[in-house]
Amino acid sequence: MTVKISAEVFDPYQEIQAYQNTRLANSGAVGATSIFIGTMRDFNEGVNVKGMTLEYYPGMTEKQLEKIITEAQQQWPIIECLVIHRVGEILPIESIVLVAVWSSHRGDAFDASRYIMEALKSRAPFWKKELLVTENERWVANNTDGYKPG
Amino acid sequence: MSIKVRYFASLKESVGRPEDDLTTTGLLTVKEVWNRANPGKSLPGNILAAVNMEYVEFDSIVNDGDEVAFFPPVTGG
């Protein structure tokens, strides 16, 4: 199980491939891999956005993410899990978050990755500040509930 | 008693500083730590609190050497 906070641009597909080649190279028990990638949009709430700054709480963020993964492990049989989250200055199209879960069966992989992602959105201490095309800045007030439409 | 108080994101901007070092006598709750560090400034309603990097309620007791953090709702992912 791995949690990474990245101040640099990361390629989620390369990260998954590297993890697959190392941690999962000989894992014949894996029957399902569920991957979620969150990407920065160039709009939010009807306004064009040109960039974003992601602040976090070093120490607490990692601790909360590890706790969330442990909770998922207690509910579903997870073989491996990789969570990467960007911080710092971010531009549209860049990846913000990767949650990848390897399990024997698709139900567990889907459910565990969804659980980790939703818990991350509501509990991991990250904060987004958007830079709008008008050059104004604004803090994102809160995350929406991913289990409800919209 | 020595307590480190930290602020993040929009709250850090509104209080105008990232942290405080608070020296007090006697036990304080998280809410009282806020009041000591920010006299006359009421705690915004949506603010969350953590002690030693774990979420807590505002009536939790703070111990010597603890790190208390206040921050707005999280918006990662």
pLDDT in tens, chain A (150 residues): 999 999 999 999 999 999 999 999 989 999 999 999 999 999 998 899 999 999 999 999 999 999 999 999 999 999 999 999 999 999 999 999 999 999 999 999 999 999 999 999 999 999 999 999 999 999 999 898 887 765
Smallest Cα distance from B7 to chain A, Å: 10
For residues B56 and A134, what is the distance between their CA atoms, to the nearest angstrom?
38
Q: Are A85 and A5 contacting, i.e. CB atoms less than 8 angstroms apart?
A: yes
Who among B9, B69, B76 is closest to A124 (CB)? Answer: B76
Please indicate if any CB of chain A lies within 8 Å of the CB of B54. Answer: yes
H or E stretch covering B48: strand B48-51
Please indicate if any CB of chain B lies within 8 Å of the CB of A127. Answer: yes
**Comparing C-alpha atoms, which of B25, B33, B73 is closest to residue B51?**
B33
Smallest Cα distance from A120 to chain B, Å: 7
The mean pLDDT of B32-55, rounded to a whole number, is 96
- Whether ipTM > 0.90 holds is yes
Who among A121, A139, A143 is closest to B9 (CB)? Answer: A139
Phi, psi of A63 (to 5 degrees): -60, -45
Please indicate if any CB of chain B lies within 8 Å of the CB of A86. Answer: no
List CB contacts (< 8 A) between B73 and chain A: 141-143
| Per-residue model confidence (pLDDT) at position A149 | 60
CB atoms within 10 A of CB A75: 11
**Comparing C-alpha atoms, which of A37, A123, A128 is closest to residue A83?**
A37
The mean pLDDT of B22-42, rounded to a whole number, is 95
Cβ of B77 within 8 Å of Cβ of A126? The answer is yes
Residues with Cβ within 8 Å of B16's Cβ and at least 6 positions away in sequence, in order, are none
Longest Cα pair distance anywhere in chain B, in angstroms?
Answer: 40
Cβ of B72 within 8 Å of Cβ of A143? The answer is no
List CB contacts (< 8 A) between A116 and chain B: none
| Per-residue model confidence (pLDDT) at position A144 | 83
Residue B55 pLDDT > 70: yes
Cβ of B76 within 8 Å of Cβ of A126? The answer is yes
Please indicate if any CB of chain A lies within 8 Å of the CB of B40. Answer: no
The mean pLDDT value of chain B amounts to 97
Phi, psi of A112 (to 5 degrees): -65, -40
CA distances from B60 to A79, B33, B54, B75 (A): 37, 10, 11, 24
For residues A145 and A51, what is the distance between their CA atoms, to the nearest angstrom?
23
Please indicate if any CB of chain A lies within 8 Å of the CB of B75. Answer: yes
Calculated CA dihedral for residues A67, A73, A76, A77, nearest 10 degrees? 160
The mean pLDDT of B62-71, rounded to a whole number, is 97
Cβ of A140 within 8 Å of Cβ of B75? The answer is yes
Is the pTM here over 0.90, yes or no? yes
The mean pLDDT of B43-56, rounded to a whole number, is 96
Residues with Cβ within 8 Å of B13's Cβ and at least 6 positions away in sequence, in order, are none
| Per-residue model confidence (pLDDT) at position A145 | 83
CA distances from A13 to A75, A79, A94, A100, B49 (A): 27, 19, 12, 10, 35
